[in-house]
Amino acid sequence: MALFDLLGRSWALGIVWSLSKGPQTFRALQADCGGTSPTVLNRRLKELMATGFVERGEQGYRLSAAGAELSDLLRPLGALANEWADTLDVRGRSSTKD
Protein backbone atom coordinates (compact mmCIF):
# COMPACT_ATOMS: atom_id res chain seq x y z
CA MET A 1 0.00 0.00 0.00
CA ALA A 2 3.03 2.28 0.15
CA LEU A 3 2.63 2.87 -3.59
CA PHE A 4 -0.89 4.20 -3.10
CA ASP A 5 0.37 6.48 -0.35
CA LEU A 6 3.05 7.87 -2.67
CA LEU A 7 0.73 8.31 -5.64
CA GLY A 8 -1.94 9.89 -3.45
CA ARG A 9 0.31 12.79 -2.55
CA SER A 10 -0.36 16.07 -4.31
CA TRP A 11 0.95 16.13 -7.87
CA ALA A 12 2.65 12.71 -7.74
CA LEU A 13 0.29 11.26 -10.37
CA GLY A 14 0.46 14.48 -12.36
CA ILE A 15 4.24 14.24 -12.53
CA VAL A 16 4.15 10.62 -13.68
CA TRP A 17 1.46 11.48 -16.23
CA SER A 18 3.43 14.47 -17.54
CA LEU A 19 6.69 12.55 -17.76
CA SER A 20 4.97 9.76 -19.67
CA LYS A 21 5.06 12.17 -22.63
CA GLY A 22 8.85 12.35 -22.41
CA PRO A 23 11.64 14.06 -20.46
CA GLN A 24 11.00 17.55 -19.13
CA THR A 25 12.94 20.27 -17.38
CA PHE A 26 11.80 21.41 -13.96
CA ARG A 27 10.14 24.53 -15.38
CA ALA A 28 8.38 22.67 -18.19
CA LEU A 29 7.16 20.08 -15.71
CA GLN A 30 5.94 22.80 -13.36
CA ALA A 31 3.96 24.41 -16.19
CA ASP A 32 2.56 21.05 -17.31
CA CYS A 33 1.44 20.38 -13.74
CA GLY A 34 -0.69 23.50 -13.61
CA GLY A 35 1.91 25.77 -12.09
CA THR A 36 2.26 23.79 -8.87
CA SER A 37 4.57 25.41 -6.35
CA PRO A 38 8.30 24.75 -6.79
CA THR A 39 8.45 23.42 -3.22
CA VAL A 40 5.77 20.78 -3.80
CA LEU A 41 7.16 19.81 -7.20
CA ASN A 42 10.69 19.50 -5.83
CA ARG A 43 9.47 17.38 -2.90
CA ARG A 44 7.50 15.02 -5.16
CA LEU A 45 10.37 14.68 -7.62
CA LYS A 46 12.72 13.76 -4.78
CA GLU A 47 10.23 11.16 -3.52
CA LEU A 48 9.67 9.72 -6.99
CA MET A 49 13.43 9.56 -7.60
CA ALA A 50 14.07 7.94 -4.19
CA THR A 51 11.49 5.26 -5.00
CA GLY A 52 12.96 4.62 -8.44
CA PHE A 53 10.11 5.89 -10.62
CA VAL A 54 11.80 9.05 -11.88
CA GLU A 55 15.40 9.75 -12.80
CA ARG A 56 17.34 12.73 -13.98
CA GLY A 57 18.95 12.71 -17.40
CA GLU A 58 20.53 15.12 -19.83
CA GLN A 59 17.16 16.44 -20.99
CA GLY A 60 15.74 16.84 -17.49
CA TYR A 61 13.52 14.54 -15.48
CA ARG A 62 12.25 11.33 -17.04
CA LEU A 63 10.52 8.13 -16.07
CA SER A 64 12.77 5.22 -15.19
CA ALA A 65 11.94 1.73 -16.46
CA ALA A 66 9.81 1.21 -13.32
CA GLY A 67 8.16 4.60 -13.89
CA ALA A 68 7.34 3.71 -17.49
CA GLU A 69 5.80 0.43 -16.29
CA LEU A 70 3.75 2.34 -13.72
CA SER A 71 2.64 4.79 -16.39
CA ASP A 72 1.49 1.93 -18.62
CA LEU A 73 -0.59 0.56 -15.73
CA LEU A 74 -2.12 3.99 -15.05
CA ARG A 75 -3.02 4.76 -18.68
CA PRO A 76 -6.38 2.88 -18.57
CA LEU A 77 -7.30 4.88 -15.44
CA GLY A 78 -6.75 8.07 -17.44
CA ALA A 79 -9.23 6.93 -20.06
CA LEU A 80 -11.74 5.98 -17.36
CA ALA A 81 -11.22 9.34 -15.63
CA ASN A 82 -11.94 11.20 -18.86
CA GLU A 83 -15.11 9.17 -19.47
CA TRP A 84 -16.24 9.75 -15.89
CA ALA A 85 -15.54 13.50 -16.10
CA ASP A 86 -17.71 13.68 -19.22
CA THR A 87 -20.69 12.47 -17.15
CA LEU A 88 -20.40 15.36 -14.71
CA ASP A 89 -22.05 18.72 -15.08
CA VAL A 90 -20.32 22.02 -14.29
CA ARG A 91 -21.03 21.76 -10.54
CA GLY A 92 -19.37 18.34 -10.32
CA ARG A 93 -22.60 16.42 -9.82
CA SER A 94 -23.73 13.54 -11.95
CA SER A 95 -25.64 14.71 -15.00
CA THR A 96 -27.78 11.58 -15.00
CA LYS A 97 -31.21 11.73 -13.39
CA ASP A 98 -32.05 9.36 -10.51
Half-sphere exposure of 41 (CA within 13 A, CB side): 20
What sign has the CA pseudo-torsion 95, 90, 17, 53? Answer: negative
pTM of the model: 0.82
Q: Encode pLDDT of 23-49 as tens digits.
A: 999 999 999 999 899 999 999 999 999
Q: Encode pLDDT of 58-94 as tens digits.
A: 999 999 999 999 999 998 888 888 888 888 865 555 5
